[in-house]
Chains A and B, each alone.
Chain A
Amino acid sequence: MNASQPNPQPKDAKTVVTRADIDHIATLANLPISDGQSEELTKQVGGTVAYVSQLQSLPTDDVTETSQVTGLENVFREDEIDTSRMFTQEEALANAKNTYNGFFVVGRVLEEK
Chain B
Amino acid sequence: MKYEPVIGLEIHVELKTKSGMFCGCPADHFAKKPNTGTCPVCLGLPGALPTPNKKAVEWTIMLGLALGSEIAEVSKFDRKHYFYPDLPKGYQISQYDQPLCRGGKISTSFGDVRIHRVHLEEDTGKLQHAVVDGKKVTLVDFNRSGVPLVEIVTEADIHSSEQAKEFLKKLHQIVRYLGISDADMEKGSMRLEPNISIRKVGETGMPPYKVEVKNINSFRFAAAAIEYELKRHEALLNEGKIPVQETRGWDEAKNGTVSQRSKEEAADYRYFPEPDIPPMRFTKDVIASIGSNIPELPDVKKTRFMSAYALNDAVASQLTDTRALADYFEEAVKAASVFEKPYSPKEVANWLINKKPDIEKVLPAQLIEELHEAKKVVAVSADELNAIITPVLSSNEKAVADYKAGKQQVIMFLMGLVRKQLPKADTKIILEALKGALES
Interface residues of A (CB under 8 A from B): 1-4, 28, 30, 67-68, 70, 72-89, 92-93, 100-113
Binds A, one of B272-280, B288-296, B326-334: B272-280
| Interface of A: prevailing SS | loop
A68 CB contacts on chain B under 8 angstroms: 273, 275, 278-279
A109 CB contacts on chain B under 8 angstroms: 84-85, 127, 138
Q: Are B35 and A1 in contact (CB under 8 A)?
A: no
Interface residues of B (CB under 8 A from A): 10, 17-19, 23-26, 33-41, 43, 51-57, 80-81, 83-86, 90, 94-97, 99, 116-117, 119, 127-130, 132, 136-142, 153, 214, 247, 249, 260-261, 263, 266-273, 275, 277-281
Given contacts A73-B281, A82-B19, contact A3 B25 (CB under 8 A): no
In this complex, what residue of A is CB-closest to B245?
A1
A86 CB contacts on chain B under 8 angstroms: 24-25, 37-39
A3 CB contacts on chain B under 8 angstroms: 80, 94-97, 99, 117, 119, 153, 271
Extra 12 A-B pairs, beta carbons < 8 Å, given A28-B81, A102-B141, A105-B138: A1-B269, A3-B97, A73-B279, A81-B24, A82-B23, A83-B24, A85-B40, A87-B38, A92-B43, A93-B35, A103-B139, A103-B140
Given contacts A4-B117, A75-B52, A77-B51, contact A30 B266 (CB under 8 A): no
Given contacts A1-B263, A81-B25, A85-B40, contact A75 B53 (CB under 8 A): no
Q: Are B129 and A108 in contact (CB under 8 A)?
A: yes
A38 to B7, CA, bound (A): 42
A48 to B280, CA, bound (A): 34
Q: Are B136 and A72 in contact (CB under 8 A)?
A: no
Smallest distance from the beta carbon of B390 to chain A beta carbons, Å? 75
B127 CB contacts on chain A under 8 angstroms: 109
Q: Are B54 and A78 in contact (CB under 8 A)?
A: yes
Smallest distance from the beta carbon of B45 to chain A beta carbons, Å? 9
A113 to B263, CA, bound (A): 11
